[in-house]
Structure 1
Amino acid sequence: MKVLIVDDESHVRDAIFLLLPWEELGFERIFMAQTVAAATRLIQDEKPELAIVDVVIGNELGTEIMNYINDQKIRTTVIAISGHDDFQYVRSMFILGALEYLLKPIEQDKLYGAVKKAQVQIGADPQSQSVLSGLSRRQNTSEYQQDLLRNLFQAELVESSFAQLLEVAPQFSEKKQCRVLHCTGSTLSVHQDEFLQRMSRLLNQIQEELESVGQGVIFQNMQPSMDIVILLYGPAQVDFDRELHRIKELALRENCAVILGSSRMHAFPNELRTAWKEAMIAADHNDQFGIFALKEYDSKMSNMYLKSSLQKESALYSSIIIGDLPTIKIQLQRWAEIVMNGQPHTIGLLRLLWEEFFQLYNDWERAAEITDEDVFLTEHIKTLGDILGNSWDGTLKQMYKYFITCIEQLIENKKLMQESPNMMARVTDYLELNYMKRISQQECADHFHINKDYLSRAFKKHTGIGMVKYLNNIRIRKACELLTSTDLQIMEIADQVGYFDAKYFSRQFKVVTGVSPAQYRYEYRSQSSQII
């Protein structure tokens, strides 16, 4: 089998390569790519059974690779990997068919588990693969039609796209009115157990249902925030009640909470964009919570907004600089109450509050000279959807609690940044003294009482390479010393320098030195004898 590793950062590619004994897992050839273009070329030429794909590749997205795999009907299983702030894109990767995702920095046991899971899928029985292939073909036959329907959301493309649509699907001449449902991506509970898988199933089922009756289509990854849009269309007299009831049934069956806004009925296709705007506004005005929470638009609704308050922002930031937690809690609540300006607590208002807080948070990070490369917020990352996923009652309190957690982490990270050079020197000393043991990044972080993700970034900044590669280099260096100064067998040397598999040790040794351990020893002794 073949595996492709796609990431724009070389240390991540190297770490993934070094973490597993790929050959023993059945992968004889390993390819690497740092761009989408390079990845798609390798996928086309080599047809790897497995691809490990970063969801954000420089200025590109891993979803482009997923789309290519689906369009070309290539049987490549994908494991997505992501940083802390990429979950809107991770959701898209799952929707497009990714099997699993892993959070950076990659842990060996989790990578191993994901690869074993992928091997099960790769080895699926032919009947299952035939079903999957059939679904893929059916999706691709309607792809052009979906693209044209998506274009109808852009006013300048309506006339030309609808004309092309009528050429390939004349039945659309009978579609006279439409209704749009909108789900804002940030309201989805992406970290809830198996939520992304359930959401993927739900969207596929909704698509199949709408296609079967010829009265709608579902769009994923709609801007501005990777939203989900359901377009219902039909003849002049249709009311779409049946379709709405069926979508609710499917959501209940998958136990998948979806917060939606619905437009009024509009002329299709000329008023489609107006319908979408109404659906977005209605979604923001939704004050319900549940598996299928639908808010219908009425003319009294308008765009949500927050009131600006530089005075309260400054007071909150001042309390953060001082580091006085009781004062921070008071100032945070005062700031939130002022900017919400007495408006009802709807999904949209809480979404704006969430976005505004993290915009301020980014400003505080920059002021503290903490960059995204240096720090993550916490190990227990949340989105607004995760907060909403608990219950509607007390949602604002849960938001305050999470904001405080983030502020505490910011204060702690600022201290760590100030101590970082000395701390990283201690970490490298620790690795030099303990290279022969099984050391994970989490264990190292626990030993020094710091955040694992922060440790990973700070270590790379200090040494220029990732911790996995750094530790591997120490072990190979120590192995070289033992090969030249002792008569120990290769298996014994592997064990003494921290490798618990002699074959894996030999492969890693050759990657670093260019020769096998036995050849290294032979060449060293040959040179020594010539000198004598």
Structure 2
Amino acid sequence: MKVLISDDEHHVIQAIRLLVPWEEFGIDQIYTASNGMEALDIITREVPEIVITDIVMEDKNGIDIMDFIATCHPSIKVIAVSGHNDFEYVRTMLTKGCMDYLLKPLESATLISTVGKAVQSWKDEHESNLRHRHLQEKVHSLSAFYSGVLLYKMLDSRCLETAYQELLQADASFSSVNTCKIIYYDTSYFPMHNPGFACLLKDYESQVRRSLGAEHGFILSNPDHPGETMFFLLGAGDITATFIIKTAQSFFMNTAYPFHLGVSREHPFPGRFSDSYTQAKNAFFCFYGDISSASTAIAALPSMEKLRFYPETEQLHQLEDQIFSSLLIGDRKEIEGTAADWMAQVLPVREIPLYLIHYVLGNIPRTAHTVDF
């Protein structure tokens, strides 16, 4: 903790420094000022927790200092000292928030007791502020989580209107949102088991979260699939998206960790919110390349072409039936053979887009999908 002793009498400053056992109160930095202007400069620069100031000085008096502290640094605890037993000074200082008013010559026990009270008062107030700030952050986090849940509900056209009305009740600021743009990624396809990558991704998300703020958007996680992450961008989405992409490149481009994003076009909100989500998700899964390679640390933008997931064929059905039969029989060689034939039908020979891997893993329904960008 820090303390400032301000007095135009040098011997008073020295006496206060010697009389108080500062270390016992956790005070390890002591500043001194011989006039009011110097005191204000130190307060501005160092923001001490405790200020002990004379009332009557040539350039600035204690009341001037008290006014400045009350306006700019109200958490500072002030102890006034004076050789003048003037009731008006006492009343004014106490009214402005001064902890106590001590008369010169100072008594050691009284001074020590007063400093102790000031330190304890600052600690109590500081802890209370921390608890209040923590509670505010918790409420904000819960509110953001609830908004995220409602946004995901809005992806279902049957729930769109109801969920949107609930969203407006939870956060009225959404009433001014007319457009949205989505940036998407799924950590299930990243090396989250690697502590280095997980830490880097956390730092990246923190950077984006700080940059977005409430004005430009926020980060959402799918309640039913924690790996799915969505940056919901509000207004000026193209500019914000460019920033997020460049930030991703600066974080991941020169590392051995793979990372890429899917970005949607900007659409009206809430009517085409689901289109933004679908486009961003499909853009992410449309990425081609070896996902274990560092060369994939780029942002993937959606092309203008139609994205088609692998359609079902009769041959695939037959191969799947053969796999099922081989599993029932328990013939390892037969299982490996039929599985290899199925994979050869589904996956191309060279570059494999993520949506085919997604399909193979069974995360995409066995139906043909066509999405227009």
TM-score (norm 1): 0.35
Q: Which has the larger radius of gyration?
A: 2
> What TM-score does the superposition give when structure 2 sets the normalisation length?
0.48
Q: Select the structure that is richer in helix.
A: 1
